[in-house]
Amino acid sequence: MSVVERALAKAAALRGKSNGAPRQQRSMSGKSSAVPVANNSGAGVEVDSTALRALGLIPTADMEHRIHEELRLIKRPLLQNAEEGRSTTSGNLIMVASALPGAGKTFLSLNLAISMASELDWNVLLIDADMGRATLSRALGLRDAPGLAGLLDQERASLNDFVFKTSLPRLHVLPAGGTRPQFIEVLGSQRMRNFVSSLGDSSQRLIVLFDSPPLLLTSEARVLASHVGQVVLVVEAGVTPRRSVLAALEVLDPSKAINLVLNKNRQIMAFGDEYGGYEPYGYGHQPEQRIEK
């Protein structure tokens, strides 16, 4: 049983599941797996680079190498924080957010997850927690699949029934699962605390990335931030107002590792492009001092 599968099994146990063992399915390798597979396919959810590139969710071919190098710079401090925080229960839980829509947080969430899943020492669970837009779920063909909302709706639901493996080794996805009335109350519930506690188990080498709603538009994002140990705040260069970034920082717990990433910063690019570049800053410092007016 893989690290992800052990984490999922523990989550089911902590949620008080009492109606038997989790559902087992066969993977292409012939080994039994507790993780459900989309469309009954052994390969799971296909991470189709061509389709995702057409949607603007992965870099164009000419920018792929540069963006991958920048992602390596971004993920290294996050992984180091997760490694150093293994004595706690939330250092491996990372929320990718923005102050306002359009900053590129879903692009970063997906590509950061893919980059982290290439690490030999970590498995990755990518969670679409942006119920309102569910861009990630739609892009992966999981718009109508049960997911986080359904999982938290049911008191005795098994996480195993909602997580999908992908065609990339060490990467799993939990889709949004649609919207629910009073979802903010569910996010703040003991049910949610049990869920994140099981995934933050220090004995697992598992990175959990939450693609969050914008912090200044929904209260769900602020509640979600209370459950994680690290926050990546994506700032769109030249577009996100300084006051919006400062307002987003004010709603976050300063005791957490808050990391700012400047997105679409064409000043650091050697040539023009659609995405611009990523520039991580603010690690271990007061990030608001680095924000351009």
CA 190 – CA 2 distance, rounded (Å): 27
Q: Where are the domains of the chain?
A: 3-290
Q: Which of 96, 162, 110 is nearest to 140 (CA)?
A: 110
Among 66-70, 81-85, 119-123, 280-284, whose mean pLDDT is lowest?
280-284
Model confidence band, residue 197 (pLDDT cutoffs 50, 70, 90): confident
How far is the C-alpha of 276 from the C-alpha of 171, rounded, in Å? Answer: 26
More confident residue, 238 or 265: 238
| Interval 63-109: pLDDT, tens | 899 999 999 999 999 999 898 865 456 889 999 999 999 999 999 99
How far is it, in rounded angstroms, from Cα 72 to Cα 142?
A: 27
- Mean pLDDT, residues 144-148: 89
Is residue 255 over pLDDT 50? yes
Pick from 254, 251, 237, 247: nearest CA to 292: 237
**pTM metric for this prediction:** 0.78
Q: For the domain 3-290, what is the CATH superfamily, name and number?
A: P-loop containing nucleotide triphosphate hydrolases (3.40.50.300)
Calpha distance 190→187 (Å, rounded): 8
Instruction: Give residue 89's pLDDT.
Output: 60
What is the per-residue pLDDT across 264-273, written as a single tens digit (0 to 9) for each? 776 543 333 3
CB of 107 closer than 8 Å to CB of 222 = no
Token representation of residue 2: 């893989």
